Amino acid sequence: MNCGAQLRYLIRRPEFGWLGGLAFSAAAWQLEARDRWIGGSPEARRQHLHRVMANSRFLILPHRRVANLASPVLGLALRRVRADWQQRYGYEPHSTH
């Protein structure tokens, strides 16, 4: 089964070991609430949807307690994922910046 474009990362800190993981994936082809919010024509959405990426998984192992871990992990991932996506799939996802 082909699930589309995706990148997965493991979260590890040397002093704590493996802490969790996160994944980014291509957007769903159709999602009524999102499509209504974005607006535009169905054709325009089809032309650009491949550049929309979602944070599809974010897991911190429940037995790991590391204060203030989530925000730095997401920040590091967001600074890295565009270049990794470009390298793997040959195009950058759209940015909201």
**Rounded percentage of the chain residues whose pLDDT exceeds 90:** 35
More confident residue, 2 or 14: 14
Domain boundaries, the chain: 6-89
Q: Is the pLDDT of residue 1 over 50?
A: no
Residue 21 contacts residue 8 (beta carbons within 8 Å): yes
User: Which strand (E) or helix (H) includes residue 85?
Assistant: helix 70-89
Amino acid (1-letter code) at residue 88: R
Q: How high does pLDDT run on average in the chain?
A: 86
Contact call for residues 7 and 24 (beta carbons, < 8 A): yes
For 25-49, write each residue's pLDDT tens digit.
Answer: 988 888 888 888 878 788 888 888 8
Q: How confident is the model at residue 13 (pLDDT cuts 50, 70, 90)?
A: confident
pTM above 0.75, yes or no: yes
Task: Report whether pLDDT(59) > 80.
Answer: yes
Whole-angstrom Cα distance, residue 20 to residue 9?
Answer: 9
d(CA 54, CA 33): 15
Per-residue pLDDT of 70-80, as tens digits, reads 899 999 998 99
Q: Is the pLDDT of residue 2 over 80?
A: no
The token pair that represents 60 in the structure block: 């911190």
